Chains A and B, each alone.
Chain A
Amino acid sequence: MSIRRRARAHSAALIAVALWFATVAAQDVLPQAERRSASPLATRAIDGGLRSGASPMRAVHKATDLHTRRMPANARYLRGSVIVKFRDGTSAARRADLVSLVAGRSMPSLPYAAFDLVALDPADDPEAVASRLAAQPDVAYAQARYRARPLYRPNDPLYGLQWNFASLEMERAWDINPGSSPSVTVAVVDSGVAYVNTSLRFVQFNARSIEGSVFPALGTVDIPFAAAPDLGAADRFVSPYDFIWDDPQPLDMHGHGTHVAGTIGQATNNSLGVAGIAFNVKLMPIKVIDGFWDEYFESPFFGTDDTVARGVRYAADNGAKVINLSIGREGPPAPVVRSALEYAVSRGAFIAVAGGNEFLDGNPTPRFAEFAQQISGMVSVGAVGPDRQRAAYSNTGPYLELVAPGGDFTRNGVSGLILQQTYDFDFTDTFLNGTGGFRPPRFDVFAYLYAEGTSMATAHVSGLAALLYQQGITKPSAIEAVMKRSATDLGPEGRDDQYGHGLINARAALRGLGIAR
Chain B
Amino acid sequence: MSAHVFCRRATSRLTLITAVACAVAFPTTAAAQQKPPAAVRPVPAPRAQTSIRGFGDISVTRFAAADTFEATLGSSTGVFFGGGVEVVLPQRFFFNVRLSRFQKTGERVFVDGDDVFPLGIDLKVGITPVEVTGGYRFQPRGRTRNVIPFVGGGIGWHKYSETSDFAQAGDNVEETFTGYHALGGVEFRMSRWFGVSGEAQWTTIGDALGSEVSSASEVSGESNLGGLGLRVRFVIGR
Contacts and interface: CB of A to CB of B under 8 A. Distances in A.
Nearest to B103: A125
Interface stretch (A45-53, A386-394, A480-488): A480-488
A514 B162 contact: yes
Contact of A477 (B112, B165, B209, B214): B112
Interface stretch (A57-65, A431-439, A504-512): A504-512
B115 A513 contact: no
B120 A514 contact: no
Interface string B92-110: 0000000000000001111
A345 B60 CA distance: 43
B217 interface: yes
A513 B122 contact: no
B164 A482 contact: no
Nearest to A509: B110
B168 interface: yes
Contacts of A513: 72, 108-111, 214-216, 218-219
B215 A76 contact: no
A516 B208 contact: yes
A512 B165 contact: no
A472 B123 contact: no
B80 interface: no
Contacts of B110: 472-473, 478, 481-482, 512-513
B118 interface: yes
A74 B120 contact: yes
Contacts of B125: 515
B23 interface: no
Contacts of B212: 516-517
Contacts of B122: 73-74, 76
Interface string B200-218: 0000000011111111111
A514 B110 CA distance: 9
Interface string B209-237: 11111111111000000000000000000
A510 B217 contact: no
A474 B69 contact: no
Name, among B112, B119, B164, the residue most crowded by chain A CB atoms within 10 Å (CB to CB): B119
A473 B112 CA distance: 10
B123 A515 contact: yes
B112 A511 contact: no
Contacts of B218: 513
A511 B217 CA distance: 15
Contact of A517 (B65, B107, B117, B171): B171
A482 B110 CA distance: 7
A475 interface: yes
Nearest to B218: A513
B150 to A, nearest CB: 33
Interface residues of A, number: 27
Contact of A512 (B68, B108, B115, B211): B108
Given A471-B119, A514-B215, A516-B173, A73 B160 contact: no
Contact of B120 (A472, A475, A481, A485): A472
B219 A511 contact: no
A125 to B, nearest CB: 10
Contacts of A517: 162, 171-173, 212, 214-215
Nearest to A72: B120
A470 to B, nearest CB: 10
A175 interface: yes
- Most A C-beta atoms less than 10 A away, residue of B65, B118, B120, B218: B120
A128 to B, nearest CB: 10
A516 B166 contact: no
A478 B162 contact: no
A512 B215 contact: no
Nearest to A489: B213
A256 interface: no
A514 B109 CA distance: 7
A512 B162 contact: no
A515 B119 contact: no
A472 B121 CA distance: 11
A475 B165 CA distance: 24
A513 B209 CA distance: 12
Contacts of A76: 122, 165
Contacts of B173: 514, 516-517
A511 B107 CA distance: 10
Interface string A309-353: 000000000000000000000000000000000000000000000
Interface centre among A76, A474, A511, A516 (most CB of B within 10 A): A516
A514 B216 contact: yes
A74 B123 CA distance: 9
A379 B213 CA distance: 20
A176 interface: yes
A287 interface: no
Given A73-B107, A478-B112, A482-B112, A511 B72 contact: no
A475 B123 contact: no
Contacts of A74: 107, 120, 122
Contacts of A481: 110, 112
Contacts of A442: none
Q: Would you list the 6 A-B pairs with minimal beta carbon distance, nearest first?
A: A478-B112, A513-B216, A73-B120, A512-B108, A512-B119, A517-B212
15 contacts: A172-B168, A478-B112, A478-B115, A481-B110, A481-B112, A485-B213, A513-B218, A514-B214, A515-B65, A515-B69, A515-B72, A515-B125, A515-B209, A515-B216, A517-B215
Given A76-B122, A472-B117, A478-B112, 6 more contacts: A475-B117, A477-B112, A507-B166, A512-B121, A514-B123, A514-B214
